């Protein structure tokens, strides 16, 4: 019984740690103190809850306990007199700011902290990784994977980001409405990366983390209510259209089902309709950005009744536009795959080989997997095997590894 309760507490930790940390950070005004207080609160939960039962509102219990633990931590450090007055003043200031802006407040601590981490005083290359770590509780490894860099490099950036907040005295408070636009780009990047980590987890046993995709969509709806910007519409549309395919993306064993092979009757038509409506609204503003273009591409996939009837000509055209406004290596890879579908595998393979030769995606498993698929389609089975083996070596995701193992097995059967 105790083991079952411990597992439940662990589930609560994974599900609510972001909310608990964000609320403690707002209340305490100190990221490091909030981190320590949260860990102390969860340690207390592991001791008390199995004996006393899990509270009706565990998140509120953890936040309340964390506030008291923060003072305990200060006492242990023998700085009670000095720091207690500082914390009390901070709490009063934050409370006053929040109450004074009640009519325009961001009614969500996590979103409030996201905007704080995206403060213009923080270097742009640090804003997003810092927010993913401090607000969304992603691991350094997960964040490094999203930015195609090493965990060591990413850890150094995170340390610099936290030091900047501390040294510059950046307050954790609600920004005025006129301050929101200058932080919007960073906020949208954060939300999109949260969604991507949930849509295709960088590591672990399962491909999909529904808690992260749901949270990203929730946060984006809040941002849209604050800032009815075309790109916010585009991002929400993109996530809804991707989310509509969740039930078809894996089979009963949790193995990957590629888009062309998915049972389209499992796609959520309600999410698709909302996504398409948002795309239309975003295009109507005539301020079309990268999220809206990606959403338009996803909408074309959603509109196709079968894989064979996908409008690859229009999709490549949209990727051409996307390459102009957001010329990143992942966009180039996705365009290469679309070109392969429009013009044949050899045409797409040429573009992927060019990307890999330039080293842009040499450590990206999906690039080698896509290359292996195209090599297989043109009959270069030996080269395809090498590409899939490289992808297998680079992948840290169990379902991806099973998918690649299946591809290698199919090649072995073909050669036997």
**pLDDT(79) > 90:** no
Q: Quote the pLDDT of residue 374.
A: 97
Domains delineated in the chain: 1-100 (1.10.1740), 103-227 (no CATH), 311-416 (1.25.40.10)
Give the DSSP H/E element, type plus range, for residue 248. none
| Tokens of residue 373, six digits | 């698929």
Distance CA 58, CA 13 (A): 10
Distance CA 214, CA 267 (A): 16
Q: Quote the pLDDT of residue 331.
A: 95
Question: What would the mean pLDDT of 99-106 be, rounded to a whole number?
Answer: 40
Which among 362, 221, 231 has a CA at the least distance from the CA of 288? Answer: 231
* DSSP code per residue over 68-91: HHHHHHHHHTT-HHHHHHHHHHHH
Within 10 Å of residue 313's Cβ, how many Cβ atoms?
11
Q: Quote the pLDDT of residue 153.
A: 92
Q: Quote the pLDDT of residue 204.
A: 59
Question: What would the mean pLDDT of 258-280 be, rounded to a whole number?
Answer: 96
Three-class DSSP category at 204: strand
- Residue of higher predicted confidence among 308 and 2: 308
Q: What is the 3-state secondary structure (H, E, C) of 108-177?
A: CHHHHHHHHHCCCCCCHHHHHHHHHHHCCCCCHHHHHHHCCCCHHHHHHHHHHHHHHHHHHCCCCCCCCH
Which among 142, 343, 382, 373 has a CA at the least distance from the CA of 259? Answer: 373
Q: What is the pTM of this model?
A: 0.76
Q: Quote the pLDDT of residue 67.
A: 85
Within 10 Å of residue 386's Cβ, how many Cβ atoms?
14
Question: What would the mean pLDDT of 287-295 be, rounded to a whole number?
Answer: 95
Q: What is the pLDDT of residues 307-328, one digit of tens each?
A: 999 999 999 999 999 999 998 9
| Residues 6 or more apart in contact with residue 174 via CB below 8 angstroms | 97, 98, 101, 104, 105, 106, 112, 115
Q: Quote the pLDDT of residue 85.
A: 61
Within 10 Å of residue 204's Cβ, how many Cβ atoms?
12
- Least confident interval from 30-34, 70-74, 141-145: 70-74
Three-class DSSP category at 397: strand
Q: Quote the pLDDT of residue 133.
A: 86
* DSSP code per residue over 294-347: HHHHHHHHHH-SSGGG--HHHHHHHHHHHHHH---HHHHHHHHHHHHHHH-HHH
Please calculate the CA angle 113-14-208 and round it to the nearest 5 degrees.
100
Give the DSSP H/E element, type plus range, for residue 255. none
Per-residue pLDDT band for 94 (boundaries 50, 70, 90) equals very low
Question: What would the mean pLDDT of 15-27 be, rounded to a whole number?
Answer: 81
- Residue of higher predicted confidence among 21 and 248: 248
**pLDDT(90) > 80:** no
35-74: string of b/e by CB count within 10 Å (b at 16+)?
Answer: bbbbbbbbebbeeebbeeeebeebeebbbebbbebbbebb
**pLDDT(356) > 90:** yes
The position carrying tokens 């959603």 is 302
Compute the mean pLDDT over every residue in the chain, rounded to the nearest whole number: 85
**pLDDT(69) > 90:** no
Distance CA 409, CA 135 (A): 41
**pLDDT(366) > 50:** yes
Please calculate the CA angle 99-23-26 and round it to the nearest 5 degrees.
55
* DSSP code per residue over 349-364: HHHHHHHHHTTTTTT-
| Tokens of residue 25, six digits | 């950070």
- Residue of higher predicted confidence among 206 and 93: 206
| Tokens of residue 81, six digits | 């007199």
Percent of the chain with pLDDT over 90: 44
């Amino acid at each position: 019984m105790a083991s079952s309760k411990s597992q439940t507490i662990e589930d609560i930790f994974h599900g609510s740690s972001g909310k608990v940390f964000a609320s403690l950070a707002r209340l305490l005004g100190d990221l490091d103190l909030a981190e320590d207080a949260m860990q102390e609160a969860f340690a207390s939960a592991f001791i008390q809850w199995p004996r006393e039962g899990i509270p009706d509102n565990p998140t509120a219990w953890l936040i309340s306990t964390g506030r008291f633990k923060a003072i305990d931590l200060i006492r242990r450090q023998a700085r009670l007199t000095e720091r207690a007055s500082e914390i009390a003043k901070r709490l009063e200031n934050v409370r006053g700011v929040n109450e004074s802006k009640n009519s325009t407040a961001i009614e969500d601590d996590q979103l409030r902290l996201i905007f704080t981490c995206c403060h213009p005083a923080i270097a742009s290359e640090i804003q997003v990784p810092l927010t993913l770590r401090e607000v969304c509780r992603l691991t350094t490894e997960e964040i490094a994977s999203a930015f195609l860099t090493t965990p060591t490099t990413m850890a150094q950036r995170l340390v610099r980001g936290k030091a900047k907040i501390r040294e510059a005295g950046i307050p954790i408070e609600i920004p005025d409405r006129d301050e929101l636009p200058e932080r919007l780009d960073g906020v949208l990047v954060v939300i999109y990366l949260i969604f991507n980590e949930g849509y295709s987890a960088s590591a672990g046993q399962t491909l999909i983390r529904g808690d992260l995709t749901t949270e990203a969509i929730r946060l984006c709806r809040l941002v849209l209510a604050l800032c009815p910007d075309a790109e916010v519409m585009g991002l929400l549309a993109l996530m809804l259209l991707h989310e509509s395919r969740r039930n078809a993306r894996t089979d009963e064993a949790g193995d990957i089902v590629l888009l062309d092979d998915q049972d389209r009757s499992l796609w959520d038509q309600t999410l698709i309709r909302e996504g398409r409506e948002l795309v239309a609204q975003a295009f109507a503003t005539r301020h079309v950005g990268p999220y809206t273009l990606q959403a338009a591409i996803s909408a074309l996939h959603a509109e196709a009744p079968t894989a064979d009837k996908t409008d690859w000509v229009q999709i490549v055209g949209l990727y051409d536009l996307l390459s102009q406004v957001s010329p990143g290596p992942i966009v180039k890879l996705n365009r290469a795959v679309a070109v392969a579908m429009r013009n044949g595998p050899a045409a797409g393979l040429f573009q992927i080989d060019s990307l890999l030769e330039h080293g842009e995606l040499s450590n990206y498993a999906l690039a080698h997997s896509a290359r292996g698929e195209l090599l297989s389609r043109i009959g270069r089975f030996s080269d395809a095997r090498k590409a899939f083996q490289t992808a297998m070596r680079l992948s840290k995701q169990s379902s991806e590894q099973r998918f690649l193992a299946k591809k290698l097995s199919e090649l072995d059967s073909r050669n036997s």
